[in-house]
Each structure stands twice: as structure tokens, then as C-alpha cells.
Amino acid sequence: MKQLLSIAIVAVLCGFTGLAEDTIRPLPAAPRRAAVATQPPRTFSEADAPYDGVWQPFEDGFKLYLPRGWASMTLDEAQAEAGLFYRAGSDDGSMGVVVGYMPAGTLETTEALAQDFERSGYALVIQGNLNGIPAIAFERPQDGYRGVAFFHPVYRDYVLYVFASPLELQGGEMNQIGIAVLASITPLEISSDGLKNY
């Protein structure tokens, strides 16, 4: 799973921060903690977002509330092979979001997923419930992005992830738009095709 994450990370960084692939280095393993940090359940409201937005639904059972001015971007073959299936961002390319998937491998619980991310060197890994979806949140400060990961609602042998970048805007101000996009991850309603809710 670490290899697929690394490929996806390269695609994210090359797309929104202008870093070259040769700047990505493997991270040392993070120290193991006895338990992953948790946070109380969160519920998103459009009023919480610092932008006028639109909902972007995905066939995988969730939707994101994105800024109205953001445009979808074409994925190249390497990005698609790495598991990315959606990319959007601001016109100037200074901020954006990517959505993708990776095999869950032997991971079966959200707690195990969080521990795996910690071992892989991600910072501020937190386990919680996001709009009814058991999920983890994480950051990668050295590469300037944060993200959320959760199990596919139907195909539990896959993990879905959403990355938002940059972590901070020029001047050191937190990217509140990216935080709101991630906080907006919401399950879709149960549909006639049998897609389960979380």
C-alpha cells in the first residue's frame, strides 16, 4: 500500500505544488503509538465553507462540496494507473483536490488504517466519524497537503482517499478552503443500484 500512496502523492504534488518527482523521498517509519488519536463525530454544513460551492458526487458512494470556480482536470495515464480518478482545482493551480483509491491489503478496520498511515510517516493521524463515514484524517507537512481516507462502502478491500493542497497559503495562513473540502466528504443516499450508505 505504501508504494501506491507514494505514486498518488507524486501525482498530487506535481499537479498542485510544482514539485518535481525527484524531490519525493521515502519517509522514515513513524514511532508506533499505543492508540491512534480520535476526535468526536463531525457534521458538515454548506454554511461552514468559506466559499460558494457545488456538490460533486462520485459513483463510489460519496460527494464533495467544491468551490464553484474550480474546474475538473484531466488525469494522465500514470495518474489513473496509480488509482487517481478525479482531480480539480483553482484556475491558477495554486490549490486543488485529488480523489483516488488503493487496495486495502490486510487492513480491515479504520483503526488499522490509521496505524498504517502512522507507520508510513504521516503526521497528525486522527481517527473519527466524518458525516457518518468512519475515516482518518492526516497531514504531510513536509509536502504541503492534508487528506482523509476511508474504506469503500461496498468494496471493503479498497480504501478511498481525498488529498487537498496546499497545507498553508502564502504568508503561513491555513488553507481553510482545503479543510472545508475535506470536511464535506458526505455519503450519498442509498440508491436503487444497491449502493450502501455508510
Domain assignment present for 194: no
Domain assignment present for 192: no
pLDDT band at 19 (very low <50, low <70, confident <90, very high): very low
Domain assignment present for 197: no
pLDDT band at 192 (very low <50, low <70, confident <90, very high): low
- Alpha-carbon gap, residue 116 to 119, rounded angstroms: 5
- pLDDT of 111 above 70: yes
Domain assignment present for 178: yes
More confident residue, 152 or 7: 152
- pLDDT of 98 above 70: yes
Question: Pick from 5, 9, 194: which is nearest to 105 by CA?
Answer: 5
Domain assignment present for 195: no
Q: Please tell me whether residue 19 adopts helix, strand or coil conformation.
A: coil
- Contacts (Cβ under 8 Å, ≥6 apart) of 67: 51, 52, 53, 90, 177, 181
pLDDT tens for each residue of 24-70: 333 344 444 445 677 777 789 999 899 999 999 999 999 999 999 99
Domain assignment present for 196: no
Q: Left, alpha or beta for 61 (phi > 0: left; psi -120 to 50: alpha)?
A: left
Compute CA distances 96 → 9, 36, 113, 138, whole Å: 13, 28, 24, 16
CATH number, domain at 147? 3.40.1000.10
Domain count, the chain: 1
What does the pLDDT read at residue 189?
74
State the pairing for strand pair 71-72/84-89.
Answer: antiparallel
- Domain membership of residue 177 as a residue range: 2-187
Compute CA distances 123 → 31, 126, 129, 133, 184, whole Å: 11, 9, 18, 21, 21
What does the pLDDT read at residue 5?
47
Confidence (pTM)? 0.78
Write out the three cell numbers for 198: 455508510
Domain assignment present for 162: yes
Domain assignment present for 14: yes
Write out the three cell numbers for 101: 483509491
